[in-house]
Structures are given as C-alpha cells and as structure tokens.
C-alpha cells in the first residue's frame, strides 16, 4: 500500500502542496487530477524521491521514501512527463543500461526484454537511435525502461500527452493489464483517460486535495453527468 501522509511542499514563498493525505492500494488505477500548476507534478516528484517534502511522509509498504530512497525506488517504475530518454542510445542500449543499474542478471534481463518487446511491439525499432523514433515509440521505450525490473507500482506523469488515438488506446490497454498485478498512478488533466481507465480520482487544486472519489461518483454528483463538468465545477469553486 502507498500512503501519503500530511505532505506539504513549498518553493520559496510559493506553497505547492498543503497537508495532502491519501492511500493507494495494489490493484488500483488512481488518476491524479488537477489543472495546470495544481501541484500534480510536485506530488509525483515527491512520490519518486526527486524532491523531499517540507512536512509529512510518503510510505510504500510502510517504508518511508525519504528514509531509504534507494530501497523504496526498487518497487517503483516511473515515467516522467514527455518520457525523457537518451536520444543517442538505441532502445536495446537504453534497456541494457537500465538493467545494469538495477543489477538484473543476464538471463532475467533477456527474458524480460523479450516479453516487453512483444508486449509493447518494439521489435522493429530496437536498433534505431531513440532520437529518431516517433513519440509513440519513445513512450513505449520509456515504459519498457520503467518495467524492466518488474516493479509493483507504476507512476506516470501525463502519459498520453501528444499520443494519437491508437497510441492512447494501446497505452490504456497496457495500464489496465498492469493494474492486475500492481498499482498505477497517472497524473493527467485528460478526462477521456480518466473515464476510460481510472478506478479512483484524487483531485488537487492549488496545492489542496479537493476530491478523493471514484469517477462514477464524481460524474453522478453533477447534473451534466460528465467528468469534464465535474472537474470544471470543482476547480472553479476552489478559485
């Protein structure tokens, strides 16, 4: 279980997150929703140990990421926004590099690589420089990199940004599959994604937690019965 406990974070005089608390169970797909600048990326960076909170704790199976970053990161696969990768490497070189950092044994690496190549349909691009790949393929390579060590938790920041409808469909199907064996947290402001895959919505606005509910409940709280209206009403009410 992932436990976010009274997290606060400021950058100078600007308060990015205030006293945020919620829990995520294995098997859940949680959409972290909020308008631009709400604090989603800050929360993701705190959850991946890139930033340290000013107050509060983030625990994975009772282990605090601030106390032992290296140990906790072994449970997480993280795909940052825009899937930044080393453009000069080929997907194979990137995945081998990632596997060496994780100290994965050669045989296990080969098996996982084969699985990921088949699942993410990467076979045709494995020897091409990443810099030459389309955005969709780059995303898939980043996903493969995040999964090469077999994590239990997948964290994705704006995963479908810039993908075409087919790529979005493939990504959603993949996230659904993954959630059967672990937890998925996606940060997004695309309601279509949330509606299609999320089991739960955690909404942040101006650094505050403003909703923690299911997509269905959120929809039916609004007369329009759709998520976009709910999003708009909640974030506008909190202005």
Partner 1 sequence: MNKQIKAIFAKEFYGYFRSISAYFIIGLYIALSLLSSFIFGNFFEIDNQSMISFFKYQPDILAVLIPGITMHLWADEYRSGTIEFILTQPIKYKDIVIGKYLAAASFSLLMLSTIIPQTIVVMLYNGINLSAVTSAFVSCLLITLSFCAIGELVSSISNKPMIAYLGSIFVIWSITMFAPDVLTESTELSALSFHENYQNLINGKIELSSVIYYISMAGAGLWATVAIISNRNKI
Q: Which is nearer to partner 1, 87 or 110 (CB)?
A: 87
If binding is defined by CB under 8 A, does position 45 make contact with partner 1? yes
If binding is defined by CB under 8 A, does position 70 make contact with partner 1? yes
Helical residues (DSSP H) of 130-226, grouped into ranges = 135-147, 165-179, 191-197, 215-220
| Residue indicated by tokens 């100078």 | 12
* Of the candidate residues 6, 11, 111, 220, the single one contacting partner 1 (CB under 8 A): 11
Question: C-beta of 230: minimal distance to partner 1 in Å?
Answer: 30
Question: Considering only 65-73, 109-117, 182-190, 201-209, which stretch makes contact with partner 1 by CB under 8 A?
Answer: 65-73
- List the Cα angle 227/19/8 in 5-degree steps: 110
Return the structure tokens found at 11: 């950058």
- How far apart are alpha carbons 209 and 190 in whole angstroms? 18
| Residue indicated by tokens 């990504």 | 171
Q: Are strands 2-11 and 14-24 parallel, antiparallel or unpaired?
A: antiparallel
Q: Which is nearer to partner 1, 92 or 97 (CB)?
A: 97
* Of the candidate residues 102, 182, 199, 233, the single one contacting partner 1 (CB under 8 A): 102
* Of the candidate residues 21, 25, 87, 134, the single one contacting partner 1 (CB under 8 A): 87
If binding is defined by CB under 8 A, does position 220 make contact with partner 1? no
Question: Considering only 43-51, 117-125, 182-190, 206-214, which stretch makes contact with partner 1 by CB under 8 A?
Answer: 43-51
* Of the candidate residues 4, 30, 33, 48, the single one contacting partner 1 (CB under 8 A): 48
Question: C-beta of 62: minimal distance to partner 1 in Å?
Answer: 18
If binding is defined by CB under 8 A, does position 74 make contact with partner 1? yes
Give the distance, in angstroms, between the CA of residue 49 and the centroid of all CA atoms in the same chain.
14
Q: CA 237, 47, 6, 216: dihedral to nearest 10 degrees? A: 40
The DSSP call for residue 109 is H
Number of neighbours of residue 87 by Cβ within 10 angstroms? 12
Q: Which stretches of the chain bind partner 1, using CB under 8 A? A: 11, 45, 48-52, 69-71, 73-74, 76, 78, 80, 82, 84-89, 97-98, 100-103, 145
């Amino acid at each position: 279980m992932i436990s976010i406990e009274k997290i606060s974070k400021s950058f100078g005089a600007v308060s990015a997150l205030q006293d945020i608390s919620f829990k995520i169970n294995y098997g859940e797909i949680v959409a972290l929703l909020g308008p631009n600048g709400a604090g989603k990326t800050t929360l993701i960076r705190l959850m991946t140990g890139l930033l340290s909170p000013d107050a509060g704790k983030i625990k994975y199976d009772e282990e605090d990421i601030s106390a032992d970053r290296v140990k906790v990161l072994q449970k997480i696969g993280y795909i940052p926004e825009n899937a930044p990768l080393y453009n000069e490497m080929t997907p194979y070189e990137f995945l081998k590099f990632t596997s060496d950092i994780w100290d994965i044994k050669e045989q296990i690496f080969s098996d996982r690589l084969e699985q990921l190549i088949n699942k993410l349909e990467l076979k045709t691009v494995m020897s091409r420089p990443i810099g030459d790949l389309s955005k969709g393929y780059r995303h898939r390579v980043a996903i493969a990199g995040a999964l090469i060590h077999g994590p239990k938790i997948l964290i994705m920041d704006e995963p479908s940004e810039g993908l075409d409808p087919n790529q979005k469909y493939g990504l959603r199907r993949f996230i659904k599959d993954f959630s059967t064996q672990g937890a998925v947290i996606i940060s997004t402001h695309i309601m279509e994604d949330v509606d299609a895959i999320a089991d739960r919505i955690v909404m942040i606005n101006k650094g505050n937690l403003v909703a923690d509910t299911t997509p269905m409940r959120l929809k039916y709280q609004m007369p329009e019965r759709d998520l976009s209206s709910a999003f708009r009403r909640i974030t506008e009410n909190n202005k």
